[in-house]
Amino acid sequence: MVKEKKILIAGCYGDFAKEIAQSLHKAGASLILAGKSKKKFLEKYKDSGIKGFEKLFFECDLSDEESVLDLEKKTNKLTKDLHGIVNCVAFPAYTKSIFETELAAWNEAFKVDVNSVFLVSKIFGKHLVDAGGGSIVNFTSFHIKATYPNRILYNACKSAVEGITRSMAVEVGKYNVRVNSIAPGPIYSSRTKFFLEQNPTVKTKMLARTPLNKIGTLGDVADLVLFLSSDYSKHITGQQLVIDGGWSVNAWFESFNT
Ligand SMILES: NC(=O)c1ccc[n+]([C@@H]2O[C@H](COP(=O)([O-])OP(=O)(O)OC[C@H]3O[C@@H](n4cnc5c(N)ncnc54)[C@H](OP(=O)(O)O)[C@@H]3O)[C@@H](O)[C@H]2O)c1
């Protein structure tokens, strides 16, 4: 359902993005990969199995308007019949309480997490309209449903992305453009490895309150992106799809799994 469809992955060499690129490539999609550093991209994709991956890459600071407009120019021929956008840019993990959070970090995180989604969706979303429709997938987090201390900056950024998702969906539905977000719970990745492994009881307690009794994988996330980018989800827009093994709907106070 994505065969030969052109899909832009914005922020293409994070853990999620690489898995998504591999999965879309396997399904026959044609990729445009944008990211901040060519060096990091080449290193990350060398074992990706994507033939000719070097030629699919464009260097871009996706939080900067000039740079995104320049990307649009450079990819002009490729984006004529663009079908999909996957927004994967993210600010590094930041864990401080409201009283400790610095304004400089606050502004930088919003620039990276929120401005990138705004700019890429605004500038490349027009290509989806011109092509007669398409799909945008954004990433938020389970934190916007239920959170814990010291994640205020992350939660604020992801809540803003959720707002963009809903507002854009109602504006562009008439062009057959769909906009959805994925809200992952903990997924095994470089971002969460430290958190999951720093204290052995963290993982045990997490699993105890997760109905499906497992931590999500990058493959689980890539499958959902594939679904949202394909016509199998053609009547779904403006939605937040939570992928957390059921954690966020659990109100039971004891372990499910013993
Ligand atoms: N992992 C989880 O369990 C989890 C859970 C909930 C939600 N999420 C969300 O899922 C998304 C993907 O997560 P992930 O683990 O794949 O994140 P990640 O590995 O940290 O990837 C983020 C990517 O964004 C890039 N980036 C940052 N600023 C940029 C800019 N200005 N221009 C272009 N690229 C830029 C980074 O490149 P550089 O390295 O060069 O800066 C990096 O490759 C994120 O939005 C994250 O918040 C993840």
Is the Cβ–Cβ distance between 183 and 243 less than 8 Å? yes
Strand partners, 6: 30, 82
Q: Which of 15, 22, 61, 88 to mutate to test the pocket of ligand 1 (most atoms within 8 A of CB)?
A: 88
Distance 235 CA to ligand 1 centre (A): 28
- Using a 6 Å cutoff on CB, does residue 139 contact ligand 1? yes
Per-residue pLDDT reduced to its tens digit, 144-193? 988 989 999 999 999 999 999 999 999 999 999 999 999 999 899 988 88
User: Phi, psi (5° rounding) for residue 39?
Assistant: -60, -50
pLDDT the model gives residue 258: 63
Separation between Cα atoms, residue 5 and residue 17, nearest integer Å: 17
For the whole model, what pTM was predicted? 0.97
Average pLDDT over residues 236-248: 96
At 253, list the tokens. Answer: 């106070």
Q: Whose CA is nearest to atom 43 of ligand 1?
A: 14
Is the Cβ–Cβ distance between 60 and 71 less than 8 Å? yes
Per-residue pLDDT reduced to its tens digit, 213-239? 999 999 999 999 999 999 999 999 999
Domains and CATH numbers, the chain: 6-188+217-249 (3.40.50.720)
Is the Cβ–Cβ distance between 249 and 185 less than 8 Å? no
Return the SS3 of 45. Answer: helix
- Using a 6 Å cutoff on CB, does residue 189 contact ligand 1? yes
Separation between Cα atoms, residue 255 and residue 148, nearest integer Å: 19
Return the SS3 of 124. Answer: helix
